[in-house]
Amino acid sequence: MISVLLVDDQDLVRMGLRALLSGEEDTRVAGEAADGIAAVAEAHRLRPDVVLMDIRMPGIDGIEATRRIAEAPDLTATRVVVLTTFEHDQYVVDGLRAGASGFLLKNTPPADLVAAIRTVHDGGALLAPSATRTLIREFTAAAPRTLRPHPRIGDLTEREHEVVRLVAQGMSNHEIAEHLVLSPATARTHVSRAMIKLSARDRAQLVVFAYQSGLA
């Protein structure tokens, strides 16, 4: 059973999310919060598997709340999914840098939202769909970036460097395998080894390291 914490300052949004998840056999709503400070407190109290995090809220915003949750030693198993809109897509990279495992648009179809929760819970990241890939590419091209190479980026092999670049472009393991003419298992192994070497919590954090290190 996947436990989910709902964080949004709009009651109707939380009610809608709760109604949606209550109809799924493998998910349950562990709790709710209407602002960033309450979100962090509830995350510590409930230790949910996944947090659906709004951005614009009173008190601390969703980015700072995400950062606090991601950095908490007792919440290493909790994954945060940022909820955003195209009008505020500048928050996407900030959310990923803060430790989010991905992001969803608020107009995401219900079935896709539930699938996304399962994906993040299983260790995946919401970075593969073409729309998401385009959004990340457009924003990161416009956002000022200061290179901060990961201290262990030099530990990656040439192939692992190449694979990390492709991950940062939003490619799935299957797409990487086709691009590099590898088996899917080999591509998955390269991704896993790169994550281990860089101590990346998940695929989303691997993308952040790639951008910060100038690999993408």
CATH number of 153-212: 1.10.10.10
Domain with CATH 1.10.10.10 in the chain: 153-212
> Given this model, what pLDDT does residue 128 score?
42
| pLDDT > 60? residue 134 | no
Distance of CA 187 to CAs 130, 192, 207, Å? 20, 9, 16
Domain with CATH 3.40.50.2300 in the chain: 2-142
Report the distance separating Cα 65 and Cα 38, nearest Å: 9
Task: Tell me the three-class secondary structure of the chain, residue by residue.
Answer: CEEEEEECCCHHHHHHHHHHHHCCCCEEEEEEECCHHHHHHHHHHHCCCEEEECCCCCCCCHHHHHHHHHHCHHHCCCEEEEEECHHHCCHHHHHHHHCCCEEEECCCCHHHHHHHHHHHHCCCCECCCHHHHHHHHHHHHHCCCCCCCCCCHHHCCHHHHHHHHHHHCCCCHHHHHHHHCCCHHHHHHHHHHHHHHHCCCCHHHHHHHHHHCCCC
Selected from 3.40.50.2300, 1.20.1370.20, 3.10.20.600, 3.90.1570.30, the CATH number assigned to the domain covering 2-142 reads 3.40.50.2300
| pLDDT > 70? residue 145 | no
> Given this model, what pLDDT does residue 36 score?
94
The mean pLDDT of 86-105, rounded to a whole number, is 72
> Given this model, what pLDDT does residue 130 score?
45
Range from 128-132, 169-173, 174-178 carrying the lowest mean pLDDT: 128-132
The mean pLDDT of 181-206, rounded to a whole number, is 88
Residue pair 95/84 in contact by the 8 Å Cβ criterion = yes
Confidence of residue 133 (pLDDT cuts 50, 70, 90): low
Confidence of residue 131 (pLDDT cuts 50, 70, 90): very low
Kindly report the pTM of this predicted structure: 0.71
Q: Is the dihedral of CA 66, 69, 72, 76 positive or negative?
A: negative
> Could you report the per-residue pLDDT of 55-82, keeping only the tens digit for each?
888 889 999 999 999 999 999 889 999 8
φ/ψ bin of 146: left (φ > 0), alpha (ψ from -120 to 50), beta (otherwise) = beta
> Tokens for 41?
């407190």
Q: What is the mean pLDDT of the chain?
A: 84
Confidence of residue 140 (pLDDT cuts 50, 70, 90): low
